[in-house]
Structure 1
Amino acid sequence: MHRSEPARPHALRSVLLFLLVSALSGALVAGLALPLAGLAGVTTETAHNTVQYLPQDLEIAPTRQATVILANDDSRIATLYEENRTEVTLKQINPIMLKAIVAIEDDRFYEHGALDAKGTLRALLRNQSGGGVSQGGSSITQQYVKLSLVAKAKTPQERQAATADSYERKFTELRYAIAVEQKVAKEEILRRYLNLAFFGGRSYGVEAAAKHYFGVPASKLNLQQAALLAGLVKNPVGYDPTDNPKKAKTRRDTVLVRMRDLGMISAKQATAAMKTAVIDPRKVQVVPNGCASSPYPFFCDYVRAKLKENPVFGKTKDDREDYIQTAGLTIRTSLDPKMQAAAQKSIDQHSKPTDSAVAAITVVEPTTGLVKAMAQSKPYGFKKNQTAYNYNVEKSYPGGFGGFQNGSTMKAFTIAAAIQKGVPLNYRINSPQVLDMSGQDFKTCTGVTSDPDYTPKNSTRTVPDPSMIDAARASTNTYFLQLSQQVGLCPIATLAAKMGMRDAQTEDPLEQVPSMTLGSAGLITPMMMSSAYATFAARGVFCNPQVITAVASVRGKSIATPGRSCKPVMTPQVADGVNYVLHQVMEPGGTGGKLKFGRSDLGGKTGTTDDNKAVWFAGYSSKYAAASVVADATPPARNLIGQTFNGRKLRDASGSGTAGPIWEAVMRSILKGLPSSKFVQPDEKTIRGNVKDLPAVKGMTPEQATAQLEALGFKVAIAETQVDSDAVAGTVAYTSPRTEDGALPGATVTLWLSNGSKVPPPVTPPVTPGIPPVIPPNGPPPTKPTGHVPCPPWNPKFPNCGGR
């Protein structure tokens, strides 16, 4: 049978029994003995049963320290803490501080053991006569134990037990204090105590307190400063010099007098110190807590969110949050304060917080994915004209707004997919201002899709028969819709996904819909867009956006954190082709032509959504990429026309004229002073593409042309409207794509039929009266086919590419 558990003794009796047993066994250090009168009759078995409930060694919880987030120049972005504390070594504390705290809190600290018998007995008797625990008498070691127990407490019940006004709590502290004194040197106990103590003003530990009240580290504290801090630990709120300077001075001077009386300082030193002001208000430093008080609150919040994704900091998000705020980490980030200032300056120059429309921009470094800047027009906050939404990131992050439709900036992915599939850069498609594509099939990754009622139109004027370059410069919708139909939506969607493009609201892949190339496949963020366009600048290498570059522990040891994540998603040659096309957009006459500056090659693309709910400009050099957006961020989104932007009502909204100037000002600033850079020119194979020859079908009937084309593996469509041509009415005027350009294998070739309006009237040769015309025996000589156009020299079929 098991021996029954003895009943737990009364708390006061436990104190006395434990002191008796400790004294008799010699376990207590010098100075612990108390009068033993009144303890007669206590048996050894009773004492043993009492002692078995007592704690032994004190488990020290890690000190809660403040975490700092730094920019790439080591300037501070934010401080995160539950307790603002920076732990320091003994060498980092001025010895005068050690003297001051000993003088006022425990002047016999170096003489007694775990407790000061005189002080404890005096407090015990007074408390006993008062019927409670009103006077402490605790040694510094006991105070350290109490602070440690409070720091270790995780639940309200544990915190209550660690601070309860009871003999049982004091007794527990005493037993722990004995163990500490036996194993820890006096100076180390002082160091730990000074690192744990609360000094008011959100300052835990002597280092944080010294910086808060005096703007100096603990190693630089002078006599009067040390005396002030030593006096604060008794009542940090009541003696706070920022709120109660008179009480604080009185308390400080009390410490100085005590130090003088103990011979720690001379009378002259004490007098001189008492004549000084208690603090200099100009040197008081308040350490803000959290991202809300950061100069870059949105970026800071994003960093915190990324940190909480890292399982190295804990199993759950709550565990990670607690660790991040208490572990004293040093977190270095990608943010460049100069670029951030340039981004915010441009935003502030082109918009106002009071606008109904919002503006945002993100700057990313190609080849690394480092996010250098993130700015927006609405400042952080919860008041009018403020917001907690970050317009640059996805909804999955705290405060992330979740993006906007990206309009024609999506055409860059169609260009890339087309070049990847072998489409020449000068590939021409007849692109009318309005194009009926109702019911037309677009191939997807899983089948086909169509829109039963779809009649898209161009928002800009362009040549009727543009090349890919022409269409990009003018942002010709009907061209890119037909190109995406020929290339297929699956290659476009696949490539976009590899470049980080997804729906910023749902995290789902972009929808493969007929209007995908016009930017209606999902909601996109400036961070996504700038990172994707940075892929072109990096010659096909996509890097996930990165904001955290390094994490170090409180001891300076590196902590594993996701680093650079880059991979090629297209060949350098394909990226060179995209750069060549988007570079032409930035040349005079292109939609981005007015935004060109400097001598570096620039590439870019405008974007305007349906009903002008959002306008974009995404662009890059080989060094940096950025994407800016102006949009209505109040659901349901409305047309920007008529909304206020930069303090005025918008009469027009466009990627080049509204979002573009924000991008231009930022890029001008960050590229200023850097060596000029050029894109790599595409090779001949990229320029010429990899198309299949088309037969010359001009002048044929639709049936004849269809038979020839289908025999070669092409699909055939006949345009509903006829065009002006010198071909006989009802016959083929030309094809789209053109005969001399060729077409992708299996592509749909559209036959445009002639209305005969340019057929020359028949010419009757003059006949001499009486002399019949001479007719050659083999009939009339063959005539050169009408409409023959020689191929350009770079065409793979030059010089025998046939007529149009």
Structure 2
Amino acid sequence: MRTGRGGRNWARSLITFIGVSVLSGALAAGLAVPFAGFAGRGSADVAASVGNLPKDLEIDPVAVRSRILAADGTLIATLYEQNRVPVPLSSISPIMRKAIVAIEDSRFYDHGALDLKGTLRAMLRNQTEGEVQQGGSSITQQYVKMSLVEKARTAAERAAATAVTYERKLAELRYAIAVEDQLSKDEILERYLNVVNFGDGSYGVQAAAQHYFRTTADELTLPQAALLAGLVKNPTGYDPTNDLARSKARRDVVIKRMLELGVITLYQANQALRTPVINLATVEPVPNGCANSRYPFYCDYVVAKLLTNPALGATPKDRDHYLKTGGLLIRTSIDPRIQAAAQASIDKHSKRTDSAVAAITVVEPGTGLVKAMVQSKPYGNGRNHTNYNYNVEKSYAGGFGGFQNGSTMKAFTIAAALSRGIPMDYRINSPEQIDLRNKKFKTCTGYTRDPTYQPKNSTHSGDLTMVEAARFSTNTYFLQLSQRTGLCPIAKIAAKLGMYNGQTGEPLDQVASMTLGVGYVTPLMLSNAYATFAARGKYCKPLVVTSIRDNSAKSIPGPGIDCRQALPRAVADGVNRVLSQVMMPGGTGGRLRFGTRDMAGKTGTIQQNLAVWFAGYTPNLAAAAVVADATLPYTNLMFRHTLNGVDIADPTGSGTAGPLWQSAMQGAIRGLPVERFVNPPKKMIGNPNPKPPDSEKQKPGTKPTPKPKPRPNTAPG
């Protein structure tokens, strides 16, 4: 802030101030700088110090709390270093203005930067009492001091802003003169009332009115205004939530001072004095940070994403400070209705006391908007609580980093096969067990092989088509299919759809068993990848922050919706066709189907039952649910693990994770329009009832090939 009109004779005011200090042996506002502070210095030194004082006060915007909102505009969390909501003077009740002026600077509208009479009066009273009873700083001087403290970013700067030295007092006065020259009295009072500390974490009169009385600054009554005005002298000592009796005594001092000045009548004073100070039961807490949010894990993830946005500051530390002081309005993707549906599913199918954990993420196809994120372990440090978010990657500080995803990986193998022209009716003889020891699988950089690999099926075996193998989740079919496609196309498609190792951030491993699951994958990744199929191959980066506006309602750049065509539409349509058969009677997801909507999905059970999944979607929404062991080292879910308070006897993607997905999706899509998948090209479908190729026809004199039949759950499915 720059001064105008030559500082309005600041030198004369400064000389007067020094003269008062020398005569009284104390300065205003605390009256704590003794005459000895000048006595040891020559006149030349004092003159030099005065000449070196700054002429301008660059006032930073006051710290204002930021808010994080859900998609429907409801509050998720408040972030602040100081709980403050600035308001114009016109939105502050006249009685509040009168109360603060009466107790802090009754001649505010009559004097300049320094109130000489007030300073002398305070000096005489303090000397009579033997201690500081009354301050002499004007409201303008107090405002300057608070502004300098606000500007301080380090402990050294804060110490300098509050040091008991005559240099600081002289600097404050010179700044005050500049402020008085630049701003009107009403403007100064407005700024003062918006910056001052009213105790119990409330800064500024609007936040204080909301906190103590659940009202607004323009509705404050006389006793309420008197209480707030009295807090300024000692925000902690007079805080009514700390000491009600002391707070009342201070409030009554303000009321009596207002009566003494003729600001209020005797009747008004008596009525106010008889009014209870405050109803502690109605004090409104203002939760700060994500730990106090209704969606703490999601909120933490939102903040983590914001801290990577360079538009909020040059460094994470700068961004964090801006988030808590910039008065930002942050809108997010979360849909409270869908979140409630997902949470209801968690509550129905799991308990916080379970040894296994459950998590669900819901994403909107075609936008990447993360609509819900829930888990069975609540946020916190207590027993059966956690600070881990089981839905997201480890690169975020609270992210768990995922689990191996089992046969949900087969969807990417299907996409790779269809992309290479292999139709859905493509048959492969898929026995119960297959010997793949040292068999070559082509990768993006060469070949890989496993010298001991002899995988088994968990469900059906036989001469199967791609559709049949998907319905039964036949491992030996997809392993042979991945040999035909090569692992590189599978890996590339998965990467295009946002899949990577959630622990390390590296690409997924191209190993022989890749199509049966590879880790580690998060529910957020998997639900968003499957959302790409639902969106006909349009991949959108997961998005949690939809808009940011600063304190002046100006938009701040953010990532925004970021989509691209990652798969040909026909290929995505083909995947939808194959995975929709999983949801039909007899398929591994058949029991999870509900209603008449088009839906598709895939089960996932990883080796040794360390985790089970179900990922599925409609054209409207996609969701992934996981149940897993989240301890180290991981152990089989069948052994000593519980879900919903019951031992997990036979963990499967359909029977264990599937019900979580089903309940969440059933509630989430309620009320959404009915949409349909698009049929893929006929050549991609092939013959709906194909005959075996000649090489596989039944030879005379041999027994017919047995029909597929269920097999025990002996391997991932």
Of the structure 1 ranges 258-267 and 107-116, higher mean CA displacement relative to structure 2 is found in: 258-267
Listed one character per residue, the Cα deviations across residues 156-179 of structure 1 (whole Å, up to 9, x for unaligned) are 122112122333322221121111
Q: Which residue of 2 aligns with 1:482?
A: 480
Matched, 1:726 2:692: no
RMSD over aligned Cα atoms: 2.7
Q: 1:195 to 1:120 in 2, by over 3 A?
A: same
Q: Using the alignment, how far apart are the partners of 2:311 and 2:74 within structure 1? A: 25
Q: Using the alignment, how far apart are the partners of 1:245 and 1:389 within structure 2? A: 41
Q: Which residue of 2 aligns with 1:382?
A: 381
Q: Using the alignment, how far apart are the partners of 2:674 and 2:49 within structure 1? A: 82
Alignment of 1:104-119 (within 5 A): 104-119=103-118
Of the structure 1 ranges 50-59 and 322-331, higher mean CA displacement relative to structure 2 is found in: 50-59
Q: Which residue of 1 aligns with 2:369?
A: 370
For the pair shown, which has the larger CA radius of gyration, 1 or 2? 1
Aligned to 1:199, what secondary structure does the other structure show? coil
Aligned to 2:651, what secondary structure does the other structure show? coil
Aligned to 1:395, what secondary structure does the other structure show? coil
The aligned length equals: 681
Q: Using the alignment, how far apart are the partners of 1:255 and 1:217 within structure 2? A: 20
Q: 1:132 to 1:673 in 2, by over 3 A?
A: closer
Q: Which residue of 2 aligns with 1:171?
A: 170
Q: Which residue of 1 aligns with 2:331?
A: 332
Aligned to 1:78, what secondary structure does the other structure show? strand
Q: Which residue of 2 aligns with 1:591?
A: 588
Q: 1:637 to 1:342 in 2, by over 3 A?
A: same
Find the partner of 2:570 among 545, 563, 573.
Answer: 573
Give 1:685 deviation, angstroms.
2.7
Alignment of 1:696-715 (within 5 A): 696=694
Listed one character per residue, the Cα deviations across residues 657-713 of structure 1 (whole Å, up to 9, x for unaligned) are 000000000111011223322211112132239xxx9995579xxxxxxxxxxxxxx
Listed one character per residue, the Cα deviations across residues 548-602 of structure 1 (whole Å, up to 9, x for unaligned) are 0000001111111110011111111111111111100000000000000011101
Q: Which residue of 2 aligns with 1:68?
A: 67
Q: Which residue of 2 aligns with 1:605?
A: 602
Listed one character per residue, the Cα deviations across residues 218-250 of structure 1 (whole Å, up to 9, x for unaligned) are 122122211111111111122112232222222
Q: Using the alignment, how far apart are the partners of 1:209 and 1:88 within structure 2? A: 12
Structure number with greater CO (CA < 8 Å, separation at least 6) is 2
Q: 1:467 to 1:32 in 2, by over 3 A?
A: same
Q: Which residue of 1 aligns with 2:664?
A: 666
Corresponding letter in the other structure for 2:406: G
Q: 1:176 to 1:212 in 2, by over 3 A?
A: same
Q: Percent identity?
A: 60
Contact 1:32 1:117 in 2 (8 A): no
Aligned to 1:338, what secondary structure does the other structure show? helix
Corresponding letter in the other structure for 2:543: Q
Q: Using the alignment, how far apart are the partners of 2:312 and 2:669 within structure 1? A: 37
Q: Using the alignment, how far apart are the partners of 2:213 and 2:276 within structure 1? A: 12
Q: Using the alignment, how far apart are the partners of 1:338 and 1:492 within structure 2? A: 35
Q: Which residue of 2 aligns with 1:228?
A: 227
Q: Which residue of 1 aligns with 2:33?
A: none
Corresponding letter in the other structure for 1:630: V
Q: Using the alignment, how far apart are the partners of 1:61 and 1:695 within structure 2? A: 79
Aligned to 2:84, what secondary structure does the other structure show? coil
Alignment of 1:196-345 (within 5 A): 196-345=195-344
Corresponding letter in the other structure for 2:672: L
Q: Using the alignment, how far apart are the partners of 2:602 and 2:363 within structure 1? A: 16
Contact 1:88 1:207 in 2 (8 A): yes
Q: Which residue of 2 aligns with 1:533?
A: 530
Q: Which residue of 2 aligns with 1:498?
A: 496
Runs of 5+ unmatched residues, structure 1: 1-20, 700-724, 728-755, 760-786, 788-804
Contact 1:133 1:167 in 2 (8 A): no
Q: Which residue of 2 aligns with 1:420?
A: 419
Give 1:62 deviation, angstroms.
2.0
Q: More helix by proportion, 1 or 2?
A: 2
Give 1:757 deviation, angstroms.
4.0
Of the structure 1 ranges 394-403 and 319-328, higher mean CA displacement relative to structure 2 is found in: 319-328
Listed one character per residue, the Cα deviations across residues 41-63 of structure 1 (whole Å, up to 9, x for unaligned) are x9996665232221211121221
Give 1:26 deviation, angstroms.
4.0
Give 1:253 deviation, angstroms.
2.0
Corresponding letter in the other structure for 2:699: D
Q: 1:129 to 1:105 in 2, by over 3 A?
A: closer
Listed one character per residue, the Cα deviations across residues 722-768 of structure 1 (whole Å, up to 9, x for unaligned) are xxx535xxxxxxxxxxxxxxxxxxxxxxxxxxxx6459xxxxxxxxx
Aligned to 1:456, what secondary structure does the other structure show? coil
Q: 1:499 to 1:468 in 2, by over 3 A?
A: same
State TM-score, norm by structure 2: 0.90
Q: 1:644 to 1:694 in 2, by over 3 A?
A: closer
Contact 1:68 1:78 in 2 (8 A): yes
Runs of 5+ unmatched residues, structure 2: 1-6, 25-37, 706-717
Contact 1:32 1:115 in 2 (8 A): no
Give 1:304 deviation, angstroms.
0.5
Listed one character per residue, the Cα deviations across residues 143-192 of structure 1 (whole Å, up to 9, x for unaligned) are 11111111111121221121223333222211211111111110111111
Q: Which residue of 1 aligns with 2:142?
A: 143
Contact 1:133 1:165 in 2 (8 A): no
Corresponding letter in the other structure for 1:609: I
Contact 2:13 2:114 in 1 (8 A): no
Q: Which residue of 2 aligns with 1:680?
A: 678
Q: Which residue of 2 aligns with 1:518?
A: 516
Contact 1:32 1:113 in 2 (8 A): no
Listed one character per residue, the Cα deviations across residues 195-224 of structure 1 (whole Å, up to 9, x for unaligned) are 111111110111111110011121221222
Q: Which residue of 2 aligns with 1:769?
A: none
Q: Using the alignment, how far apart are the partners of 2:148 and 2:23 within structure 1? A: 32
Q: Using the alignment, how far apart are the partners of 1:271 and 1:159 within structure 2? A: 42
Aligned to 2:478, what secondary structure does the other structure show? helix
Listed one character per residue, the Cα deviations across residues 9-40 of structure 1 (whole Å, up to 9, x for unaligned) are xxxxxxxxxxxx99895456999984998999
Q: Which residue of 2 aligns with 1:628?
A: 625
Q: Using the alignment, how far apart are the partners of 1:121 and 1:625 within structure 2? A: 74
Aligned to 2:602, what secondary structure does the other structure show? strand
Q: Which residue of 1 aligns with 2:31?
A: none
Q: 1:43 to 1:608 in 2, by over 3 A?
A: closer
Q: Which residue of 1 aligns with 2:456?
A: 457
Contact 1:424 1:688 in 2 (8 A): yes
Q: Using the alignment, how far apart are the partners of 1:413 and 1:371 within structure 2? A: 22
Q: 1:240 to 1:697 in 2, by over 3 A?
A: closer
Aligned to 2:389, what secondary structure does the other structure show? coil
